[in-house]
Amino acid sequence: MREILVTGADGFIGSHLTEELVKQGHKVKAFAYYNSFNSWGWLDTLPKDIMNQVEVFTGDIRDPNGVKEAMKGMEEVYHLAALIAIPFSYHSPDTYVDTNIKGTLNVLQAARELETSRLLITSTSEVYGTAQYVPIDEKHPYQGQSPYSATKIGSDRLAESFYRSFNMPITIVRPFNTYGPRQSARAVIPTIITQLLSGEEEIKLGLLTPTRDFNFVKDTANGFIEIAKSKNTIGEEINIATQHEISIGQLAEELIRQINPKVKIVCDEQRLRPENSEVNRLLGSNEKIKSLTNWKPKYTFEQGLAETIKFFKNNLDKYKTDIYNI
């Protein structure tokens, strides 16, 4: 049993990671965003037998004092707290710098002072931008195609600098597009599913040609856990990817076929990214994670979609299906 802190535990991937770590017998402290509603995000939906074993710490990743306090006594820290929506980063980039870069710096500084035994920093496939070659391995160039991706590049490089400068046990974990139960409606798969379940005759989407490499969230969570188990991953940047791609159009057609075959797709101008900001192709290499850990995907895309559709059918009331969620 290890004592582990998960930042961003109230979010999509973080809540699944927290749940899985508890199931594997670890003592977990969940760092959730402080708010006056006393909401712990998706942690509030976890089974009581899981949450009874979780210590919740509410704070703000932008505050160094709270971050350090949360990290005291923790052997391992999985840092997932971040702002992630690309459209929101177009008009509020300051918040992304404060949360993604300064927040990561706070975690790095605290880990250095507290001599944390293991630190995983969460990156994103968006740091690569549109693929210059495929499959995208960890040596692919970085491209800041949105303020969001630029801040994640910045936080990754900060993490690298702390590893190199202070010999800290850091790994940069880089998931490709994760999907599954509890995901925000600003992401493409929930956007499609919630619109289809709402009974509309048309669904609104942006560009249909970009391709993505989709990880089911439980596979992503297990990727973090397997990476933390291996000392060979220290000082490395590691993709979590399926090494398969599907276009947004093909994805939409498959979900339409499963949920409501009568629906038509309409292009919504406000959902289009600026031309030079659109990431047209993401197809990740998973050779490195397979060589350094025991990780491999356990879910097929079909299995993952089935679990995701089931979740949204049971939780549609939690989503605003009639607006564009940025």
Q: What CATH code is carried by the domain that includes residue 295?
A: 3.40.50.720
Is 121 within a domain?
yes
- Whether 298 and 219 have beta carbons less than 8 Å apart is answered as yes
Q: 229 CB contacts (<8 Å, ≥6 apart)?
A: 293, 294
pTM: 0.95
Q: What is the pLDDT of residue 201?
A: 82
Q: For the chain, what percent of residues have pLDDT higher than 70?
A: 98
Q: What integer best gives the mean pLDDT of the chain? A: 95
Considering only residues 276 and 36, tell me which one the structure prediction assigns the higher pLDDT: 36
Is 195 within a domain?
no
Q: Work out the average pLDDT over 251-269.
A: 89
Q: What is the pLDDT of residue 1?
A: 84
Is 67 within a domain?
yes
Question: pLDDT by residue (tens digit) across 88-127?
Answer: 999 999 999 999 999 999 999 999 999 999 999 999 999 9
Is 185 within a domain?
no
Strand pairing category for 246-247 and 211-212: antiparallel
Beta carbons within 10 angstroms of residue 72's beta carbon: 12
- Whether 190 and 319 have beta carbons less than 8 Å apart is answered as yes
Is 256 within a domain?
no
Considering only residues 134 and 274, tell me which one the structure prediction assigns the higher pLDDT: 134
pLDDT at position 170 over 90:
yes
| Cross-strand pairs, 179 | 216
Q: For the chain, how many structural domains are there in total?
A: 1
Question: pLDDT by residue (tens digit) across 179-219?
Answer: 999 999 889 999 999 999 988 788 888 889 999 999 999 99
Q: Work out the average pLDDT over 307-325.
A: 86
Q: What is the pLDDT of residue 234?
A: 98
pLDDT at position 4 over 80:
yes
Q: What is the pLDDT of residue 326?
A: 65
Is 326 within a domain?
no
Count of alpha carbons within 13 Å of 91, Cβ hemisphere only? 4
Under the banding of pLDDT at 50, 70 and 90, the label for residue 269 is: confident
Is 314 within a domain?
no
Q: Is the dihedral of CA 308, 310, 313, 319 positive or negative?
A: negative
Is 273 within a domain?
no
Structural domain including 222 reads 3-180+215-243+280-299
Q: What is the pLDDT of residue 267?
A: 78
